[in-house]
Amino acid sequence: MVRRKKSSPLEDALDLLAMLPWWVCLVLAAVSYFLLHRLAAPIQASDIPGQGGAVVGAMVQKAIIHGLANAGQYIVPLLCIAAAALSAWRRKQRQALVSDVAQARNADALDGMSWREFELLVGEAYRLQGYRVAEIGGGGPDGGVDLVLVKGSEKFFVQCKQWKAYKVGVTTVRELYGVMAAKGATGGFVVTSGRFTTDAKDFAQGRNIELVDGPRLFAMIQQARSTQGQLEATHRETPSSMGSPEPQPRTAAPVPQATVKAGAQPECPRCGAAMALRTARQGANTGNTFWGCTTYPQCRGTVAAS
């Protein structure tokens, strides 16, 4: 995927900080100002130990630190605040992208995106599945890895290919597999808005790499968005007043025994606990059943009911 060239180290730093949650950036802004403001305090003669040449050297060193801290106490916090705003804007953009794609009729909705929008969309799609997502971009030394997913103690690499005119070949898949082996990743995903060649599919067979083409990504986003909507509808109808006992999940009507086979109760994909069958009572999925974790609100894992 083609990467936009950065115009300055300052822009690189801003982009790196914006990968953090916005509130972390604000904390860094406050901490950096406090520390640099202390270093920027005027130099006192009593602060310089020694005598003769040692005094001159210490004075020069203190003056350099004082000058850098004096400017940095304003520049660094402002950079962190700008990164917080950028991080919040990207989060809103990711949510808007997912919403737009989930409401589209087919996978053609992926074709009009820029590479950056596609990368944000893929990251949000996996975030909705319970992964922690770090957006690192594929232009660095990590062999084209765009996203790093973490779930529990496991790490997964994602390479995004927003290609419309031709298929993703085996070279891309082989490259990601090599990086996974070198970095000790549990698995990997190659995600494209298009398709994969037969050679790429053959190479991925039997290896811990998943190939996600446009139609599959589109279905994955719709499923994740639908499950999230069902869970949010259930949460809205659950009272949360302090001191009152937590109500048990309710269903609109008894579920026919024929639709729930004995022993078919799934385990929560997030924490492994048992799940209970629930029915969405609000929103676009009203009346649809889904499996929700019985440890809610500690865990909000869901599974679509068949």
Give yes or no for a contact between 234 and 246, defined as CB atoms under 8 angstroms apart: no
Ranges of each domain in the chain: 9-42+55-100, 109-220, 275-304
Cα four-point dihedral sign 131, 267, 95, 27: negative
Nearest of 25, 143, 28 to residue 84 by alpha carbon: 25
Q: What is the DSSP letter of 5?
A: P
β-pair type (289-293, 302-304): antiparallel
End-to-end CA distance of the chain: 37
pTM: 0.56
- Both tokens of residue 297? 């609100």
- What's the pLDDT at 14? 81
Pick the CATH number of 109-220 from 3.40.1350.10, 3.40.980.10, 3.40.50.10490, 2.60.40.10: 3.40.1350.10
- What's the pLDDT at 45? 53
Integer Cα distance of 182 and 160 in angstroms:
19
- What's the pLDDT at 43? 60
Integer Cα distance of 189 and 113 in angstroms:
20
- What's the pLDDT at 261? 40
- Residue pLDDT tens, the chain, 306 long: 444 454 577 777 887 787 778 888 899 999 999 988 888 777 655 555 555 456 566 667 777 877 888 888 889 999 999 989 988 887 887 778 888 887 777 777 787 788 888 888 898 889 888 898 888 765 544 457 899 999 989 999 999 988 765 789 999 999 999 999 999 999 999 999 888 999 999 999 989 999 999 888 888 888 877 766 665 555 555 544 444 445 544 444 443 333 334 346 677 777 777 777 777 666 556 667 777 777 776 677 777 776
Integer Cα distance of 167 and 189 in angstroms:
16
Nearest of 163, 186, 159, 162 to residue 175 by alpha carbon: 159
Q: Which residue has the tokens 């005027």?
A: 42
Indicate the SS3 state at residue 150.
Answer: strand
- What's the pLDDT at 271? 74
Q: How far is CA 266 from CA 270, 277, 283, 301, 302, in A?
A: 12, 10, 25, 11, 10
Model confidence over 248-279: pLDDT tens digits?
444 444 433 333 343 466 777 777 777 777 77
Length of the chain: 306
- What's the pLDDT at 174? 93
Indicate the SS3 state at residue 293.
Answer: strand
